[in-house]
Chain A
Amino acid sequence: MNAIIEVSGVSKSYGGVKANSDISMQVQKGGITGLIGPNGSGKTTLFNSIVGYHPIDKGSIKFEGSEISKLQVPAIARLGLLRTFQQTRIYGAMNCVENMLISMPHRKMTFWDAFSRNDAEQIERAEGLLDFVGLYEKRYLRGGSLSFGQQKLLEFAMALMNEPTVLLLDEPTAGINPTLINGLIDRLKRANSEFGITLFVIEHNMRVIMNMADHIYCLAHGEMLASGGPEDIQNDQTVIDAYLGAH
């Protein structure tokens, strides 16, 4: 196992607020890494820094050994480093199949490829993945008419369609009903084991993250509080204090 994402000494402030200060961490290739922390601890800011959503103030971010902190969002996505959103984002006026087809890996697509239709193989793949997340019957409905939980599943399927190397998931189970959560955990684990996608997950649901991740980082007040295996984190007094609000 080696590090596929290397974050070293990254700082980011918004005006006077230090959202991230001197964060260093690594995501191991092929694993499932978790990122936890109380609300406002800087988890999403760190995600946004990694995927190039905003410039960082200081530090370096490397993906597969090369610096990406100066690249723009679409360029980073085409390298195979993909993210999903906390507020689920899908293409509302397009149906599920269309949502899937346009999520094909754009790094493989030349300009002239845009002027052809999708072939049967891709349509089959799109429908297969919709089946994988349980949306096959609704595939001709518009994305915007699905429930929030179904949109989350669709967004996850779209991410898989893109064949990423690393997938950054921002609260994949938020707003999903408890029965569906088990199914989602199972699918996330299968995406990791069957499709070989490295996962980096922000999650508030402790049961979910302890169940999935092999390594967990905990942020608080924009600083790295602790890191380790699920067992270590669960028993770490500073983490417990941070969550319960003790000082």
Chain B
Amino acid sequence: MTRLMPVIHIVLLALVIAAPFLLPDYRSSLSALWILIIVALTWDLTGGQMGYNSLGNIFFYGTGMYVAAVITIGMAYNVGEYTDAAGGGIFAFTPTQYFMGFGFGLIGAGLFCAACAFIIGSVTFSLRGPYFAIGTLGVAIAAGELVSNWEWVGGGQGISMPNYPGEQERLFTYFSFATVGVVLYIFLRWLYTTRFAAAMNAIRDDEEKAEAMGIHTLRYKLVAWAIAAFFVGIVGAIEAFQALHFEPLETAYQTINLGIFMVVCVLLGGKGTLWGPIIGAIMFHVFKEITWNYFLGWQWVALGALIVVTVVYFQDGLMGWLMSKKPEWFGIRVESRDTPTAEAAE
């Protein structure tokens, strides 16, 4: 298994690159899948690995969208005048302005959201369990309402983004998401082998014990959430460029859509594992696309049923189910001194 890993990863990377060319009609759908994968992986960072179930990660998504918009527009024009004119034709963007805005917008969104996570987290991390979930949900809802009353960024009307200066907009979006997703995967794959991950797991299993053992619990919680916020903010920023126009409540701070979907993806795939959220996001996306295409009108009912079934009967998800069926695949075993320990070194 360990020897096969590089081969598997090369095949996967080839698939990621080839996918938009093999399925040219599904480029937007594949981009949407990447959004789900990234928000699910980052949700699992605090939810699955650390036991802090945030319902407010969508805050970073919406904030990322707005930060990217403000940076891109602000570098070329006065943001207030731009939003007053509701993005009318007089505000043209050169390709240089567009790509400068894209680059700085993404980085700015990531950093700003990470900083937000530090500030909000230092308050919300004094809450535990369901109170943390409700507290963070409150932050996301409040942010949506505040932004929809803030005329400088367009208020409830929302804000328009410049058009992509070229032909291959969908490919550009797909590869932007895919790059972030692959970087996030590599980063988490490394992070989950470090002591940082062990500290997060310790907080998840028994935070009081972790404190009694001298672990810097608040520090790890803040850094973990800031990492999640960084990546979610960047995804939001890319989505802002793809959406062309977005408004605060339904698109940016969409608590009841993407804000819940990310949790369902993780639960479907299995909490606290690297591959669980990815597999869960794929399962969820396929389910969602099928119901939207073939059961239109019933799609929300089907989605609701999926959530109920997952939460009630399938809490551990696919990976959790595998772990209970095949514990030895996950290194859970009794081993005496006599048995060869070659595998133990991994």
In the bound complex, residues from chain A placing their C-beta under 8 Å from that of B202 are: 91, 94, 102
- Would you call B334 and A85 a contact (CB within 8 A)? no
- Would you call B195 and A93 a contact (CB within 8 A)? no
The answer to whether A140 and B335 touch (CB under 8 A), given A77-B212, A78-B214, A93-B205, is: yes
In the bound complex, residues from chain B placing their C-beta under 8 Å from that of A241 are: none
Nearest CB of B to A184, in Å: 20
Number of A-B contacts (CB under 8 A): 108
Main DSSP-derived SS at the B contact region: helix
- Would you call A114 and B220 a contact (CB within 8 A)? yes
Q: List 27 A-B contacts (CB under 8 A).
A: A51-B212, A73-B211, A74-B212, A74-B217, A82-B212, A85-B209, A89-B212, A90-B209, A91-B206, A91-B210, A93-B201, A93-B204, A93-B272, A101-B198, A102-B195, A102-B198, A114-B196, A115-B195, A117-B193, A136-B336, A137-B336, A139-B335, A140-B335, A140-B344, A144-B205, A162-B213, A162-B214
- Would you call B195 and A82 a contact (CB within 8 A)? no
In the bound complex, residues from chain B placing their C-beta under 8 Å from that of A91 are: 201-202, 205-206, 209-210
Q: Compute how far the CA of A226 lies from the CA of B335 in the bound complex, rounded to whole angstroms.
A: 49
A141 touches which one: B215, B216, B332, B344 (CB < 8 A)? B332
- Which residue of B has the minimal Cβ distance to A104? B195
- Which residue of A has the minimal Cβ distance to B331? A140
A147-191 CB mask vs B (1 if < 8 Å, else 0) is 000000000001000100000000000000000000000000000
- Which residue of A has the minimal Cβ distance to B337? A136
B333 touches which one: A83, A116, A140 (CB < 8 A)? A140
Please give the number of chain B residues whose Cβ is less than 8 angstroms from any Cβ of chain A in the complex: 33
Q: A109-B195, A137-B337 are in contact. List 14 more A-B contacts (CB 8 A).
A: A72-B211, A73-B211, A77-B213, A91-B201, A91-B205, A94-B201, A102-B213, A105-B214, A106-B214, A115-B194, A137-B334, A137-B335, A139-B335, A140-B333
Q: Which residues of B line the A interface, CB within 8 A? A: 191, 193-196, 198-199, 201-202, 204-206, 208-217, 219-220, 272, 331-337, 344
- Would you call A82 and B213 a contact (CB within 8 A)? yes
Nearest CB of A to B44, in Å: 14
List which A96-111 residues lie within 8 A (CB) of chain B. 98, 101-107, 109, 111
In the bound complex, residues from chain B placing their C-beta under 8 Å from that of A104 are: 195
In the bound complex, residues from chain B placing their C-beta under 8 Å from that of A89 are: 206, 208-209, 212
